[in-house]
Amino acid sequence: MTDHDTARALWITAPGIACLAPAASGTGALFRTCYSAISRGTERLVLAGNVPSSEQGRMRAPFQEGEFSFPVKYGYSAVAERMDGPQQGDMVFALFPHQDRFRLPDESVIPLPPGLPPARAVLGANMETALNVVWDSGISAGDRVAVIGAGVVGALVAYLAARMPGTEVTLTDLDPARAGLAAKMGAAFAAPDALTGPYDAIVNASASGDGLALALENAGPGATVVEASWHGTSPVALPLGGRFHSQRLRLVSSQVGALPPDRLPRWDYRRRLAKALDLLLDPILDALISGETAFEDLPQDYAAIVADPATLCHRIRYS
């Protein structure tokens, strides 16, 4: 396969508009994509053109083509089959955009752990983010934990926290239908107005200023509040004149593009992503796949998928 003869990718060409078009295939071993996944929060902002100019360099996906000012090829969750070399037939995860074929060197892909179905492995990037959030939060055994926003990342944070000994985890969302999802993740569920602090750690994964204000309202004295959402160009107002100072609350940002400082001496990005894939072996996590679209149909469906608040992880299937 040469760079532009058979590889096709989803390109965002203007705000709200996407199409399939030729794309560079790269260099290295040849991989055929089986599945990719839409990261709704980030891709919604990219599709709308709401990546701040100051962050356009830092927010580039690892194998992005083009610029955020359009056209741009974006995405970072692909599961593919190796098509050549001694490892032919192996299934791998790559932080690659929505593209049917690509080439990458071995160090840029992670083999799927034994027993992980490729169709579930598309959650790898989301689990990596959730793992980083848990590290940044300092959640530990026995803590009372609240997670605001029952999207994919919020649900995965609740899933990881609920598996620590003695933790009491509550997942909250505006949509009462997410109560069933919370139960599957091992967490209690509460509507936002029914959240009852104080909590030892609170994670806001709601992508809303109201969610972050709710976290500050329910954090216990000296507790950590983690902002896991990315707001793009949208300003966020916070009630910092109330209990934020008197209760000595700690507001921490978490972004998967950087490892927590206390992990840097021992962890790198490859080790973190490999561990995220290991954490996906539980079949209950299939509950986070909310829909599937054929790659050929993606351009016409893409805007509606990222705009729909009911979307969790939407999987793309390649023929």
Task: Please list the rounded mean pLDDT of every run of 10 residues in the chain (319 residues).
Answer: 70 97 94 97 93 90 93 97 96 98 97 98 98 98 98 98 98 98 98 96 96 96 95 85 92 94 96 98 98 98 97 97
127-253 is classed in which CATH architecture?
A: 3-Layer(aba) Sandwich (3.40)
Query: How do beta strands 188-190 and 250-253 pair?
Result: unpaired
Q: What fold does the segment set 8-123+282-317 form as a domain?
A: Quinone Oxidoreductase; Chain A, domain 1 (3.90.180)
Delimit the domains of the chain by residue range: 8-123+282-317, 127-253
CB atoms within 10 A of CB 191: 13
Predicted local confidence at residue 4, as pLDDT: 42
Report yes or no: 29 and 16 within 8 Å, Cβ to Cβ: no
Q: Supply the DSSP symbol for 113.
A: P
Helices 269-278 and 124-137: angle between axes, nearest 10 degrees: 110
pLDDT of 237 reads: 87
* First CA to last CA distance, the chain: 17
Q: Which residues, other chains included, contact 198 with Cβ-Cβ below 8 Å and sequence gap of 6+?
A: 144, 218, 219, 220, 221, 223
Give the pair of three-digit tokens for residue 264.
């840097």
Sheet strands (E) in 176-309: 188-190, 199-204, 219-227, 250-253, 289-294
Report which DSSP code applies to 192: G
pLDDT, position 178:
98
Global confidence as pTM: 0.95
pLDDT, tens digit, for every residue of 40-73? 989 999 999 999 989 899 889 999 999 998 999 9
**What's the confidence (pLDDT) of residue 58?**
87
pLDDT of residue 249: 96
